[in-house]
Amino acid sequence: MSTNQPAPPAADGAAPAGDAPDARQLRTILIAVCVALMAVIASVSGLNVAQPDLAVEFGASQSTILWIINIYTLTLAALLLPLGAIGDRLGRKPMLITGLIVFGVAGATAGLAPSAEVMLGARLLSGIGAAAIMPITLAVITSVFPEEQRGKAIGVWTGVAGGGGILGMFLSAALVDVASWRYLFILPVALVVVALAMAVRSVPNSREHSDHSFDTVGALTSAVTVVGLIFVLQEGPEHGWSDPATLISLAVGLLAAVLFVVWELRRQDAALLDVRLFRERGLAGGSITLLTLFGVQAGIFVVLFPFFQAVLGWSGLLSTLALMPMAVAMMTTSGLAPRLAARIGSRSTMATGIAVAGAGLALMALIVSVDGGYLSILPGMLAMGIGMGLSMTPSTEAITSSLPRERQGVASALNDVTREFGTALGVALLGALLSAGYRSAIDGKLDGVPQDAADTAREGVANAVEAANGAGPHAQDLVQAARQSFVDGWQQAMWAGVVVMGVLFLYILARGPRNPAPAAGAGADAAADEALSCR
């Protein structure tokens, strides 16, 4: 492949010295792609806080509401690899602009949707636009920023990707509380307008020429693999793991995955994704780390929201506000991680972050209590945010640096697909552990409770709190039993997360990315800091 640039790129992948953007241009480019990324991330979690409002507005079933939410992430995950590769070929700037336009139109349509059917179509279109945006934002960074500044830029991008979802949930909850669910789409559309104006003016274009045809078979089989496997993780907990639709989806996803691997091995240099690269420490270690971290983060959210709302009795807005310390810690340490990695190495930084995050899970398992409330989990949340911030940035950089410059759209898409898989896996597994632990604990605490109220209480802590109204003199005992049982289930889920993080820690120590070359001198660091300062 050859790069469509005025002059050949430098050996390290940076733009030629004569054409390199200055510090101000780099800062503007970084802001533009991060604003675009924030629009996508905010839309992933925003509608979760408006499920009851959507059901009332459209007269829709819970299943339909879940599809309105899930079809966005399903489409986004399925199309990341194909659209990332197309962006490499057709041009990253045109792909970014097209994605922003599609995403903005879809968001405006969703905000004005008169029916559930229109909303479903708008969310599907939003997923397509998001899949065109998300991989390109990171690919622009890896293809434009000089090597000595790339790590810091990736740190900023990673902080937005990790903490932006929490910020999006908070703003969404605030809008739903004070206005209407339709206002949820104002923020993404406004971000799209800002990102589009900045991208048109400041983001440089780059594209790659290839002597090989586009890997259509690889694109199709990758999309089917992602749809099949993520559908299983989304629908399995809802309809049962033995449900025919779940089993068929699993079979289709696994078969497509096998076909994808076999086909890509045959295509080799012309493949959409050269699967042989997973033998390398960087690509394998970075992918497994992000898969695990985002799985644990998503699973924690599944645990935290019922704790805040059903156990502590907080509103949705206050519950999302309670997550902000974790988001701030994550975003701050994501920016600091490249500097630490330059001193002690990527592998050591990743291992340190994983250990801190694992310690955070252990803290949440050890000291959480109904009486202790929010303060009993705050130290663990902060440790989780710090640990994830430290480990996400070098993991992302390990993935993008494993693929050549002409495949950065694919590298960025792989990074994003890994996050989406991890999120779906974490919600399914940690959510199932929490539910199983809760049911096991509450079964022995329902003596004397009326049968109908007891059956309802077994479904979940929120159900138990609601059922207490019909439990007569046992109402207070039922609420207390449900809350304590939830904490018991919480501890089971957290200890499972600690085990997973421990295994990941040992794996990274043994097979993590090799340490990079020594850090650049103080002058390079100062220039990088100037370029990436958003103040």
Distances (CA, A) of 216 to 212, 260, 274: 11, 11, 14
Confidence of residue 17 (pLDDT cuts 50, 70, 90): very low
Cβ atoms of 213 and 270 closer than 8 Å = yes
Q: How far apart are CA 372 and CA 446, in angstroms?
A: 24
Domains 21-208 and 273-516 agree in fold: yes
Assign 209 to helix, strand or coil. strand
Helix/strand/coil percentages in the chain, nearest 5: 85, 0, 15
d(CA 384, CA 368): 15
Residue pointed to by tokens 């991680």: 337
pLDDT digits (tens, 9 = 90+) for 74-125: 898 899 989 988 988 888 899 999 999 999 999 999 989 999 999 999 999 9
Most confident of 147-151, 273-277, 342-346, 368-372: 342-346
C-alpha torsion 31→282→290→199, nearest 10: 20
For residue 151, pLDDT beyond 60? yes
Amino acid at site 158: T
Could you read off the pLDDT of 182-196 as tens digits, one per residue?
888 888 899 999 999
- In this prediction, residue 513 has a pLDDT band, given cuts at 50, 70 and 90, of confident
Q: Which of 87-91, 263-267, 430-434 has the lowest mean pLDDT?
A: 430-434
Sign, CA torsion 24/25/27/28: positive
Q: Which residues pair with 208 in a beta bridge?
A: 3
How confident is the model at residue 359, as a pLDDT? 96
Long-range contacts of 197-203 (CB under 8 A, 24+ apart): 198/28, 198/31, 198/32, 198/35, 199/32, 199/33, 199/36, 199/93, 199/96, 199/97, 199/100, 200/97, 201/28, 202/25, 202/28, 202/29, 202/32, 203/29, 203/32, 203/33, 203/92, 203/93, 203/96, 203/140
- Given pLDDT bands bounded at 50, 70 and 90, which one contains residue 219? very high
- Residue-wise pLDDT tens digits, 327-339: 899 989 988 898 8
pLDDT of residue 398: 87
- What are the residue ranges spanned by the domains of the chain? 21-208, 216-271, 273-516
**How do residues 49-71 score in pLDDT, each as one tens digit?**
677 778 788 887 767 877 888 88
Can you identify the CATH homologous superfamily of domain 21-208?
MFS general substrate transporter like domains (1.20.1250.20)
What is the model's pLDDT at position 422? Answer: 85
Q: Give the whole-angstrom CA distance, residue 463 versus residue 478.
A: 11
Q: For 490-510, write each residue's pLDDT tens digit.
A: 888 889 899 999 999 999 999
Calculate the CA 260 to chain-centre distance: 24
What CATH code would you report for 273-516? 1.20.1250.20
- Could you tell me which residues are beta bridge partners of residue 209? 2
